Amino acid sequence: MLGLVDGLEIRVRGQVQGVGFRPFVWQLAQRFGLQGTVLNDPEGVLIQVCGAGLEGFAAALTEEAPPLARVDAVECRAFWFDLLPVGFVIAASRGRGAETRVVPDAATCPDCLAEIRGNGRRRGYAFTNCTHCGPRFSILRGLPYDRAQTSMAGFAMCGDCRAEYENPGDRRFHAQPIACPACGPRLWLEVAGAEVPGDAVALAVARLKAGQVLAIKGLGGFHLACDARNAAAVELLRQRKRRPAKPFAVMMGEGDLGGFCEVSDDILGLLRGAAAPVAVVRSLGKLPEAVAPGMATLGVMLPYTPLHHLLIDGFGGTLVMTSGNLSGEPQVIGNDEAREKLSGFADAFLLHDREIVRRLDDGVVRADPPMVLRRARGAAPGTLPLPPGFDGAGQVLALGGQMKAAICLVKNGQALLSHHLGELEDALSWEEYLRACADYGALFDLSPDVVACDRHPGYRASRHAETLGLPVVRVGHHHAHLAACLGDNLWPRDGGQVVGIVLDGTGLGQDGTIWGGEVLLGDYAGVTRVGYLRPAALPGGDAASREPWRNLLVRLDQAGLSGLADEVLTGMPLGIARAAVKAGMNAPLSSSAGRLFDAFAAALGICVGRQSYEGEAAMRLEAMVAGEAGAYAFGEASGVIDPAPMWQAWAADRAAGVLPGVMAARFHAGLAAAFCAVARRVVESGQAQAVVLSGGCFQNPVLLRACLNRLKGMKVLTHRTTPANDGGLALGQALIAAAQRLTVAESG
C-alpha cells in the first residue's frame, strides 16, 4: 500500500442517528488531532479516519457517547486514503434503507429548559429542542433521519438557526427539528374555531385556572387537561368524557411531587429520564377523589416538552393530563380531527402547526416493584437485543393479540417491539394497527420470512396474518407470555427449561379451551401444562369479563355456597345465569385468574354489577389490601389449584366481620402461595432452572411481591422492559417463531 495513507474505517451500530453522534465524533476528532469524515448511512454511522491516537478515539466512541445514544457495536478495519484528508468533515448522509435504530422522542433537556426560561431568542418558545432532546419518532416520515424526512420539512430555517445547525461545535448541529420563533412552528389558542389574540400559553393558563377543560396538542397526540385540584373541573371532564372511574394521569413540576405522592430516588430516576413516562406511585390522598376513584396510587408525570413546562410554570400547580380521544378510539393527533372529535369535551384548544406523523400514547411504568405497564412514547421504537442462540433467525413479523395490541419485528439480531396500538375490536384502532404494520415495515425495511400470531382464530391480528402470503406460525397465548419474559431477560435459547406462572384474563389454550391461570413447563420451543386453576364457567361469555357478579356466582356455586351467592347477589338474574351454565349455553369453562380476581372483588362489594373500564375490579381490590394478614388456603391435587377452600374461609371471615382490607390481603397471599407451591415443586424436582412470572395479573404489585417472597432462594424472571400484559405478546410470538425456524434449519 505504498503511497497510501494508513487509517481506520469504523462502523458504529446502534441508536446513533438523531442523537448528536456525528458532531460528537467531530469534536473527538478535533481533540485527538485526526483527519477524515463521518456520515450517517443505512447501517448507522460510518467513520473514515487517520492520524495518531486512533486507539483512544475508537474507545471514546463508546465511553463518551451522547446521552441519547446507545452503541451496540464499534467495528474497526484497516482503511487506506489515497491522499491525506484535510481536517475532519461531517459528510452528507447517504443510502436508503433502515439497518439502524430510529430514536424515540426525548424529554426536554436542562439546557433547552434554561433557554425557554431565560432571556434569549427562545424565551418562552414552545418548540425549543436540540440534539439531546425533542421530537424524533413522532415527526419521522422515513430514513435516514434528516429534516427533509420529518414534519419539520416545511419550516425553512432562519439565518440564526441555520448557523447553529451547521456549526459542529453547537449542540444543535444537525438537530433536525431545530426551530425558533422566527422560523419554526407556532402556537395559538382557539375557541369555537377562531384564534384568540394574545399569548397562547397565558390565555390557556387563565382558562385552566377558571376551571375549564382544554384540549392540548402535545408530542404524540392530544391531551385533555384541567385543574387537578379543582374537584368540579375534574368531575366536569369525567361527565363530558363519560369516563366515570378510570384514573386520570396528572402532570406537575418536580417540586410539587412530594406534596401529592410518595417519592423515592427510583421514582425520580424514572420521571427525569428521557422517556418521561407516567409513573404509578403511592398517593398521599391530597387530590380530589375524582382524579383516581378507589385507587391508593396516582399516575404522575413531569412536563416533558417546552410547551408542558411553560404551562406548568404559568399555572403553578397540578394538571389532569388524560388522553384526548373518544371512548375506545385512538388518541387524536390532527388539528381538524381534534376540532371534530373533542369539541364536546373541551372549552378551548391549544394548537400548533407541527404535524404529528405518528400517534404515541404516554408510556406508563411502576417504580416499586419496577415494571413497564404500557410501552409507548419515549420507549418506542427502541430495540431489544435477541437472547443468545438466535443468530441467523432471519426476519420475523409477529402480530400480537387482540387487547393492548403491539407488533414485533425481528431482524439482524434485534427485536423491535412497537408502541401500544390499542384494542383491536375498535374500528379506528384496527385502522391504526394496519397503518403501524405498514409503517414499521417500511421504516425498518423488513422483508419477513414468516409471520407469527396468536392461536385464537377470531383475533383480528390472527386473521390478518392469513392475508400476508407468508408461512404462519400460530402461537399459544400463554406460551407467548412465557417466551416474552424469557426474551426480556435474555434467557439463552439453550438455557434450559423454566416453569412459568402465567396469570391473566383469558387466552386460547393449547387444548382449545380458555386459559388464564397456568403453570407451564418449557422454553421457546414449546411448553407443557403442569398446573392450572380449576376451571369455572363464564356465564354470558364475554359478558363475564365486564360483570363481576357472574364470576362470583359460579365460583360460590362451585364451592357449595349457593345460598350465600343468593344472599350476596340479590337483584341479579341468577336463575338465568345458572340455567345457562347447566345447559352449557354461552358459558365456556375457563381457568382465568383474572376472572377469579373479579369474583373476589365482587365478594367485597367492588364493581359487583359492572366494571366501567377493563381491570377496574382487580385494581380496586389491590388498592383495598391492608398489610399482611395471613393467606387463604387453596386446595391442590396433581397441579389443579382449587379455590373452593378459599371461598369457604372467606365466608367464615365475612360472617365474623373481618375487615375487607384484611380479606383482600388474604386472597392475594393465598393465590400466590397456591401457584408458587406448584412451581417450586417443579424446580425442586430438577425439571426447571428458573421460575417465570408473566401475564397481566403480574402488573399487580401486591401479587408480584407475594410471589417473589414465596419463591425466595430460586431464580425468578420477571418483565423488565416489556409489559407483562398482552402488550408484550408479540415479542414472545416472534421468539417462538424464530426458535422454530432455527430448529428446522439445524435439523435439516
CA–CA dist 30, 32 (Å, integer): 6
Active site residue 546: no
DSSP 8-state assignment for residue 628? -
Alpha helices in 186-317 (DSSP H): 200-209, 231-241, 257-260, 265-272, 306-315
Kind plus residue range of the DSSP H or E element containing 385: strand 383-385
Is residue 222 within 8 A of residue 331, CB to CB? The reply is yes
CA–CA dist 32, 28 (Å, integer): 6
CA–CA dist 244, 177 (Å, integer): 39
CA–CA dist 228, 210 (Å, integer): 12
CA–CA dist 319, 215 (Å, integer): 12
Place of cell 384564534: 195
Burial of 368 (0-12, 13-18, 19+ CB in 10 A): middle
The type of residue at 131 is T
Kindly name the residue from 40, 230, 325, 489 that is annotated as catalytic: 40
Active site residue 22: yes
66: left (phi over 0), alpha (psi -120 to 50) or beta: beta
Kindly name the residue from 22, 122, 238, 710 that is annotated as catalytic: 22
Which residues in 566-672 belong to E strands, given as ranges?
Answer: 589-590, 635-637, 640-642
CA–CA dist 448, 469 (Å, integer): 11
Place of cell 384474563: 505
Q: How far is CA 523 from CA 367, 382, 746, in A?
A: 28, 25, 17
CA–CA dist 211, 634 (Å, integer): 51
The type of residue at 417 is L
Known catalytic residues are 22, 40
